[in-house]
Amino acid sequence: MSDLALVLNSGSSSIKFQLVDPERHATDEPFASGLVEQIGEPEGRVTLKYAGETHTTTAPIPDHNVGLDMAFELMNEHGCGPAEVEITAVGHRVVHGGILFSSPEIITDEILGMIRDLIPLAPLHNPANINGIEVARRILPDVPHVAVFDTGFYHSMPPAAALYAINKDVAAEHGIRRYGFHGTSHEYVSRHVPEMLGRPAEEVNQITLHLGNGASATAVRGGRAIDTSMGMTPLAGLVMGTRSGDIDPGIVFHLHRSAGMSIDEIDRLLNRDSGVKGISGVNDFRALGELIEEHNEDAFLAYNVYIHQLRRYIGSYMIALGRVDAITFTAGVGENAANVRADAMANLENFGIRIDPERNAERSSLAREISTDDSPVKVFVIPTNEELAIARYAVELANRSR
């Protein structure tokens, strides 16, 4: 077998893992995949999918160390663990790379220290990522570990797009600027577009729309991100499942001063109880669609607010790019919700965007065009695969370092 990478996405109470052959086709199932969940709760669970079967262990999982040990035991038991298969590299998803990291890095103690220094910028995410890195390095000490940063793709964004118009000394002291997130997904999808257009990457201007639970839009010129909707944190930009996206910052002061909410309460409100869920009560687009069919007004309103904000960003990126060759939808909502794509692209014929309703309605797990043959701007659906992208980086860097 060719190289296999172990890809880890370590959250505060869960670890997602995949064993991925980086040479495989984007739509193939990973070699093995699984989830360690409810870490730190009375009952935890490890699930493994391998060779068409699903295996589960339940037991208390006090911390990430125990969780990853259990995952490896389960993998070994079923013939796909490090005891049986050779792992060329471990790829770690790291949410925040600040202005320090523009591309993936082999993890050394020094690099880990730098990721630790970025904790103030991502107090929820980076500690969990670091935890996963430390545990995996303990279990697989002889394999190269590679950090792939969600922010890396945005490192070279022009200052006009990256800077906020706030006091520059305060901004410099506290690292306040637009970092952008979901970069691995936007980069993966945007790299596929020139192939679909049959044009050199340097010539292509495009907008990529990652619409999942979290959602973001990115403008890409010649392979380089020139603007993106998420900001210093992943709370900004588009309306999301539970996150507000852009709001007037004055609302935060008002909620604190007039409504008496604490900063933590406001944080929870904007991150977990807002967005589509905040207006309709549900965050999943399938549930939202069912409510709309039942003529639920709040669901209809939530959907319209979501679409309005999405179109706002598409419009502003069309201006930022000047000429747009392609617009691409990806992630759970972008890949599956034909109505979202149709409504986001409706009545834009004057801007050269023509959707073919039949192509748009077709369900497929393949990359595909949904615009008409004569549409000057091509519209695509390209399934994202962040794990595959991370696996490719990890194996590439590991092989280069040998």
Taking the C-alpha atoms of residue 32 and residue 321, their distance in angstroms, rounded to an integer, is 40
Q: CB of 366: closest distance to ligand ADP in angstroms?
A: 15
Rounded to a whole number of angstroms, the distance between the first and last alpha carbons of the chain is 19
Kindly state whether residue 286 participates in binding ligand ADP, applying the rule CB under 6 A.
Answer: yes
Stretch that binds ligand ADP, among 6-14, 211-219, 345-353, 393-401 (CB under 6 A): 211-219
Nearer to ligand ADP by Cβ, of 38 and 372: the residue is 38
Kindly state whether residue 13 participates in binding ligand ADP, applying the rule CB under 6 A.
Answer: no
Class of residue 322 by CB neighbours under 10 A (exposed 0-12, middle 13-18, buried 19+): exposed
The distance from CA 156 to its chain's CA centroid, rounded to whole angstroms, is 19
Phi and psi of 56, rounded to 5°?
-135, 140
Which of 73, 284, 343, 356 forms a contact with ligand ADP (CB under 6 A)?
Answer: 284
Residue 88, Cβ neighbours under 10 Å: how many? 19
Kindly state whether residue 285 participates in binding ligand ADP, applying the rule CB under 6 A.
Answer: yes
Minimal CB distance residue for ligand ADP: 332
Nearer to ligand ADP by Cβ, of 10 and 375: the residue is 10
Residue 69, Cβ neighbours under 10 Å: how many? 17
Q: CB of 341: closest distance to ligand ADP in angstroms?
A: 11
Taking the C-alpha atoms of residue 297 and residue 277, their distance in angstroms, rounded to an integer, is 13
Nearer to ligand ADP by Cβ, of 9 and 205: the residue is 9
Q: CB of 345: closest distance to ligand ADP in angstroms?
A: 16
327 touches 353 (CB < 8 A): yes
Q: CB of 231: closest distance to ligand ADP in angstroms?
A: 17
Nearer to ligand ADP by Cβ, of 104 and 214: the residue is 214
Which of 38, 213, 271, 372 forms a contact with ligand ADP (CB under 6 A)?
Answer: 213
Q: CB of 258: closest distance to ligand ADP in angstroms?
A: 33
Please give the annotated binding residues for Mg(2+), written as ranges. Answer: 9, 386
Taking the C-alpha atoms of residue 387 and residue 27, their distance in angstroms, rounded to an integer, is 12
Kindly state whether residue 212 participates in binding ligand ADP, applying the rule CB under 6 A.
Answer: yes
Per DSSP, what are the bridge partners of residue 148?
93
Residue with tokens 């502003």: 316
Touching ligand ADP, residues 235-274 (CB under 6 A): 241
Site string for ligand ADP, 214-233 (x = CB under 6 A): x-------------------
Q: CB of 140: closest distance to ligand ADP in angstroms?
A: 25
Catalytic status, residue 150? yes
Q: List Cα–Cα distances, 130 to 20, 134, 172, 347, in angstroms.
A: 21, 6, 25, 46
The H-or-E segment that residue 113 falls in is helix 109-117
The distance from CA 282 to its chain's CA centroid, rounded to whole angstroms, is 21
Taking the C-alpha atoms of residue 85 and residue 79, their distance in angstroms, rounded to an integer, is 8
Q: Which of 252, 230, 142 is nearest to 181 (CA)?
A: 230
Indicate the length of the chain as a whole number.
402
Nearer to ligand ADP by Cβ, of 57 and 336: the residue is 336
Active-site residue, from 3, 21, 150, 227: 150
Taking the C-alpha atoms of residue 224 and residue 232, their distance in angstroms, rounded to an integer, is 19
Site string for ligand ADP, 312-341 (x = CB under 6 A): -------------------xxx--xx----
Nearer to ligand ADP by Cβ, of 30 and 241: the residue is 241
Q: How many residues bind ligand ADP (CB under 6 A)?
A: 12
Q: CB of 82: closest distance to ligand ADP in angstroms?
A: 26
Stretch that binds ligand ADP, among 52-60, 146-154, 282-290, 353-361 (CB under 6 A): 282-290
Touching ligand ADP, residues 336-375 (CB under 6 A): 336-337
Nearer to ligand ADP by Cβ, of 199 and 286: the residue is 286
DSSP code, position 29 = P
Active site residues: 150
- Which residues of this protein are in contact with ligand ADP, per CB under 6 A? 212-214, 241, 284-286, 331-333, 336-337
